[in-house]
Amino acid sequence: MINTKNIILEARIKFPKMTYVELGKLAGVSKQRVHQILKAEGICYIRPVYNCIECNKSLRTQTKTGKCLACHNKSRGRGDIELTCMACKITFKRRVAQAYRNRGNKHSFCSRACMGRILGLYFGSGSINKYPSFADAVKHHNEM
């Protein structure tokens, strides 16, 4: 005669990803009883493994898209883009939303220090030239 304990143990060995609820329905007992039986036998719960479908990074939980946050943001155009600082001409990365929020990606600075250097040079009290707009000042600076 096959008892509940043997049914649960055999099912766990054959189907290791089966949940406690599914094992309980198979054996006709509650999920708490399944947990008690498996704990007494020293068999712990096997958590299912989920991986990102693009980069194969392991995920804690299953997501709707099957992607990690970085891959999801990249596919939706929310990742980082490379910009060039208007003052020191180095390339740097900035979030897409942040880059377009700052003047529609016209004037990009890698730091506040670079932005202050341009503003101080053209708009400060001892500025070398007076320009009617910030765009004119940056255009002049890029021509230099």
Structure token digits, residue 27: 């054996």
pLDDT at 103: 57
Q: What is the pLDDT of residue 104?
A: 54
pLDDT attached to residue 45: 66
Structural tokens at position 74: 């990249």
Q: What per-residue confidence (pLDDT) applies to 28?
A: 92
Dist. CA 45–CA 29, nearest whole Å:
17
Residue 33: the pLDDT is 92
Q: How far apart are CA 44 and CA 35, in angstroms?
A: 8
Q: Which residues pair with 83 in a beta bridge?
A: 92
Which of the 8 DSSP states describes residue 30?
A: -
Mean pLDDT by 10 residues, the chain (144 residues): 83 86 92 91 77 89 86 77 86 80 69 84 65 68 68
pLDDT recorded at residue 130: 63
Contact 141, 118 (CB under 8 A): yes
Domain boundaries along the sequence of the chain? 4-41, 49-78, 80-143
